[in-house]
Each structure stands twice: as C-alpha cells, then as structure tokens.
Amino acid sequence: MDSMTVMVRKQTAADQALRLDNQICFAVYSTAHAFNRVYKPLLDRLGLTYPQYLVMLALWERDDVPVKDLGERLFLDSGTLTPLLKRLEAAELVKRTRSTEDERVVLIALTPQGHALREKAKAVPQSILAASDCTVGELLAMKDEIVALRDRLNAVLGE
Amino acid sequence: MDSMTVMVRKQTAADQALRLDNQICFAVYSTAHAFNRVYKPLLDRLGLTYPQYLVMLALWERDDVPVKDLGERLFLDSGTLTPLLKRLEAAELVKRTRSTEDERVVLIALTPQGHALREKAKAVPQSILAASDCTVGELLAMKDEIVALRDRLNAVLGE
DNA sequence: GAGGATTCAATTGCGAACAATTAAATGTGA
DNA sequence: TCACATTTAATTGTTCGCAATTGAATCCTC
C-alpha cells in the first residue's frame, strides 16, 4: 500500500463522514420544515403559527407560568418568546402580568379564548398522523430515539 | 358504560393524541435547534451559518447549478436562497452569474476560496458525531427513518 | 410570428431564532 | 447596610423561512 493509496483512502473517509453528518442533521432539519409546511394550513384555521402552537400546547398543560419556565420547556429564550407572546396577547389568547412577588417575572396566563382554542386544536393531531402515514407505535418509537439524541446534544451544550 | 364515561374517554383520547403529536413534531423541531446550537461554534470558525453550511455541502457535491436546483436539493425557495447566496458571494465563497443560454437562470459556482473551505470543513463531522454520542450505525438507521418520514410528509404536500 | 401561459429569480413583508446587551429586581456576603 | 453578583425580561441587530408578488425570459399554441 503506497502513500498515494493512503491519501486517497483518507480523503474518501473524510468525504464519507462529511456526507454522513450532512445527511443526519439535514434529515432532522428538513423534516422539521416538512412538518411545518404540513401544519401550516391546519394552524391557519386557528390563527396560529407553529411556534405559537407549541407555546399554546405548553400553556394548555400548565399556564400562569413565568416566561423562563416556558423557555425551558420549549428550549427557547426570551428573545424569541417575548415578541411571540406579545403577538399572542394581541390576539387575546394570553395575558402577560408582572408577578407581584417578584417583579422581574412576567407570568403568562391563558384568556378564556385561549382556553377555548384548545377544543378547535383537537382536530389537528389526527391530520398530522394521517399525513405522516405511520402507525402511532412507529411514531412513538421514532420520537423516543429523536428525543434521546436531542438530550445528548443538549447535554454536550450544557458542559 | 354511561354517557359520562364515554365523554370522559373521548376527552382523554383527544388529549393523548394532542400530546402525542406534540411530542413527535416537537421532538424533531427541538432536535433541529439542538443540532444548530452544537454546530454554531464549529461553523463560526468557517465563517458560516448552518443554512450556509448546507448550501456549501450541496455545492461541494455539485456546483455550477441554478438556484432552483439548490432549492430542490435543500427544500428551500428563492426567497430564502437569494439573500443567503448574496451573503456567500459577499464572503467570496461563490460567484453568481446569469446563464447565457437562459437568462432567467442564475448559476451558482464555487470560487477557489469556496473550494478551499472544504478542507477546513472536514473537521466538523467528527465533532458532531462525538456530540451525538451515537455510533455511526445508530445515526444512519435514525437518518433513514427520519428521511422516510420527511418524504411521506412531502408527498402529502405535493398532492 | 404573435399572444398568452409558464418558468425563474428577486423582492417585500412578517414571524421566528438567537447572540449580545440593557435595565430592573432580587439575593448574598462582608 | 452597602457593594456586588445573579436573575429575569426586554431590546437590538442579523440571519433564516416562506407566502405573495413582480418582472423578465422562455415556451407553446395557434
């Protein structure tokens, strides 16, 4: 095996790796966009964008929470959430009030319309399930794998 | 089983579904962001953002291509690509020239610096692999599943 | 060849996403 | 108590991502 062969093999390995990481990260990236596009017409009827829908999902599970709490649940920071929450407030779906106990904290609570929207939103999941053309079991298994990957990535970030 | 029981069960099923679809789509969404954050410090050294890195990866595989071609490979449209490509041109990594055969078409070609950046980029994949804390085989298997899901979603969009 | 449809990139406007900074409130240690 | 650090949202500036529109070039049909 001469030096030329070694060089060629090294290039090939690097190229493969470059392609591999491209495909995995790009797969997640492009699938997120594909989901977004499938959600769009469904969420248009609710008057929500996908990130706004995520915030509403979080609030339907537990509201009257600080912005920081929402950020930790959704992996988003105040730079993203503050303007988004102001738009939800303008749409009269949430109310933002400063905590009396700690004036640094802004508490996000659902309005009656915000609570009511939950009923409309119940039509969304089955449409997504249909579009994915997967069984619930398959999706759950994939979800667990993806979440495990995400958590490992976030663990590295936390170091 | 009285009517009250039926109602309660229906609500529970809808809630489960809402929660399920949330987790799957959100898993992909939040993992894409986690990847982005892991890539950021690595790509900063190359002077690229993650979407710019994707464009460069595509061009390293095949350049001298129309904007439309890049868009199809990356699932992005001209509204996203045009300003991004202008920034890459300002960074002298690509050159944009109007095709002489068809003046509607803008061809994207790598500059010598654009080609050269590929060598630096070879250091990126191994860092991502390490951060993911997965084997190559695991990542490849996940990638295939995710791509299959993406393609099914995109198929629904194409109808 | 002329008229109309189609294709392609660019543009505009809006909503994320995030880094970095700011400002105010709170907590802590000497 | 007072200085200093920390916490929490908000703000600013840059970059995506996409819908909708525009304008130019090309294609197609008659």
List chain C nucleotides near protein: any atom < 7 Å from a Cβ.
Answer: 7-13, 15-20, 24-27
Residue B138 confidence (pLDDT) above 80: yes
Alpha-carbon distance of B97 to B106, in angstroms, equals 6
Query: Does residue B27 carry a pLDDT above 70?
Result: yes
> Residue A158: its pLDDT value, please?
77
pLDDT for res A61? 95
Query: Tell me, what's the pLDDT at A27?
Result: 97
Give the mean pLDDT of B72-91: 97
Cβ distance A146 to B146 less than 8 Å, yes or no, reads yes
Long-range contacts from B51-54, C-beta under 8 angstroms, 24+ separation: B51/B76, B51/B80, B51/B84, B52/B84, B52/B87, B52/B88, B53/B121, B53/B124, B54/A22, B54/A26, B54/A29
Average pLDDT over residues B35-56: 96
- Identify the bridge partners of residue A106 per DSSP, sorted by sequence position: A98
pLDDT for A108: 98
Low-confidence ranges of chain A (pLDDT < 50): none
CB contact under 8 A, A25 and B139: no
Interchain proximity A125–B17, CB inside 8 Å: yes
> Is residue B68 very low, low, confident or very high in pLDDT (cuts 50, 70, 90)?
very high
Residue B148: predicted pLDDT: 95
Q: What is the pLDDT of residue B45?
A: 95
Measured from the CB, is A106 under 7 Å from any atom of strand D?
yes
What are the φ/ψ torsions at residue B76 (nearest 5 degrees)? -130, 155
Closest CA in chain A for residue B10: A122
pLDDT of residue A17: 77
Q: At B47, is the pLDDT very low, low, confident or very high (cuts 50, 70, 90)? A: very high
Shortest distance, CA B147 to any CA of chain A (angstroms): 6
Query: What pLDDT sits at residue A11?
Result: 63
Name the average pLDDT for chain B.
Answer: 91
Strand D nucleotides below 7 A of a protein CB?
A: 7-13, 15-20, 23-27
Give which of B34, B38, B44 is closest to B121, Cα–Cα.
B44
- A76: CB within 7 A of chain D nucleic strand: no
What tokens appear for A140 in the block? 């759950």
Which pLDDT does position B81 carry in this prediction? 98
Strand partners for B110 = B94
Could you give the CA distance from residue B9 to residue B149 in angstroms, rounded to a whole number? 30
Interatomic separation, CA of residue B125 and C1' of nucleotide C8, rounded (Å): 34
Measured in angstroms, the CA of B34 and the nearest CA of chain A are apart by: 6
Instruction: Nearest by CB to B75, from A17, A33, A149: name it.
Output: A33
Is A4 exposed, middle or buried, given 0-12, 13-18 or 19+ CB atoms closer than 10 A? Answer: exposed
| pLDDT at residue A94 in the model | 98
CA nearest to nucleotide D18 C1': residue: B79
Q: Is the pLDDT of residue B1 over 90?
A: no
B3 confidence band (pLDDT: 50, 70, 90)? low
pLDDT at B92 exceeding the cut of 60? yes
